[in-house]
Amino acid sequence: MGRELQRLKRRKATTKHMEELLDHAPTTLVVHYSCESFYDRTDGKTPRVTSIAVRNLASGQTDSFSIHHIAEQQHIPFGEIHEHYDALERKMLDQYFSFVTSHQHFSWVHWNMRDVNYGFAAIEHRYRSLGGSPILIPEDRKFDLARALVDLFGVGYIGHPRLENLIDKNKITKRDFLSGREEAAAFDNKEYVKLHQSTLRKVDILANLFERTSNDSLLTNATWAEKYGLSLRVLGELIKDHPIISVLVAASAILTIIVRVRELL
């Protein structure tokens, strides 16, 4: 199969997957988290997790887990949070993995949460490092929206940093939004509330982008050719899959049969 047909096949599979997630929106979650900087790290340690937000795609209900909320519950002053990082992070992750345990049959939409630097594996590793036993989310329950957009629109659909440029392209407000480096700086400056607000804002934005993609209203820089390719075989596949054209072809076949039958009578 040629490269363009492979892309078309991936596009169809991604579109179908998104439709299924929307059909089961009450059991689809959108997740994002903030962490300590993973830039220029030399000690090999996984960055601390500072806050996690999980939004239900259907209801918009958002559950969040953060170091500063745990500190408040434990009556630890904000100025002393850095003295209790391990204990606070462990308690926060206890709550998060309790949530995961009760939502294992749910699907999880995320943005580039794919490895031990930044992703589900990073959160799991942090929990193990703090003495916890993480509950793993099955791979077939994870949906990477960042990768899905490449499958749908091609690698050039928006410039880097893709999430920020996509937000600007679609005129989505960036209130409370922090870039990765800004979040890292906020952690260094002990601005935990600011970090948490950014995490909440991002999970809301990801849900917005998912819904716009699903209803075909997402704005990108991708051309028709970049989305579908230009080969005649791809064009043939698109024509075959188009419902109106399929009906017309079927109707034409029926009319041809009727005409031939009449000629025989």
pLDDT-derived band at 9, boundaries 50, 70, 90: confident
Nearest to 173 by CA among 202, 149, 148: 202
Q: Residue 110 in contact with residue 30, Cβ under 8 Å? A: yes
Please state, in angstroms and rounded to a whole number, the distance separating the CA atoms of residues 220 and 242.
Answer: 22
pLDDT by residue (tens digit) across 50-86? 999 999 999 999 999 999 999 999 999 989 999 999 9
pLDDT by residue (tens digit) across 193-217? 999 999 999 999 999 999 999 999 9
Q: Residue 103 in contact with residue 92, Cβ under 8 Å? A: no
pLDDT by residue (tens digit) across 161-185? 999 999 999 999 999 999 988 988 8
pTM: 0.85
Q: Residue 35 in contact with residue 47, Cβ under 8 Å? A: yes
CB atoms within 10 A of CB 58: 13
Is 50 exceeded by the pLDDT of residue 231?
A: no
- Report the chain's mean pLDDT, rounded to a whole number: 87
Is 80 exceeded by the pLDDT of residue 228?
A: no
Of the ranges 15-19, 221-225, 239-243, which one carries the lowest mean pLDDT score? 239-243
Tell me the C-alpha to C-alpha distance, in Å, between residue 242 and each of 2, 22, 236, 239, 246: 21, 21, 10, 5, 6
**Domain spans of the chain?**
3-222, 232-264
Query: SS3 for the chain, per residue?
Result: CCHHHHHHHHHHHHHHHHHHHHHCHHHEEEEEEEECCCCCCCCCCCCCEEEEEEEECCCCCEEEEEHHHHHHHCCCCHHHHHHHHHHHHHHHHHHHHHHHHCCCCCEEEECCCECCCCEHHHHHHHHHHCCCCCCCCCHHHEEEHHHHHHHHHCCCCCCCCHHHHHHHHCCCCCCCCCCHHHHHHHHHCCCHHHHHHHHHHHHHHHHHHHHHHHCCCCCCCCCHHHHHCCCHHHHHHHHHHCHHHHHHHHHHHHHHHHHHHHHHC
CATH architecture of 3-222: 2-Layer Sandwich (3.30)
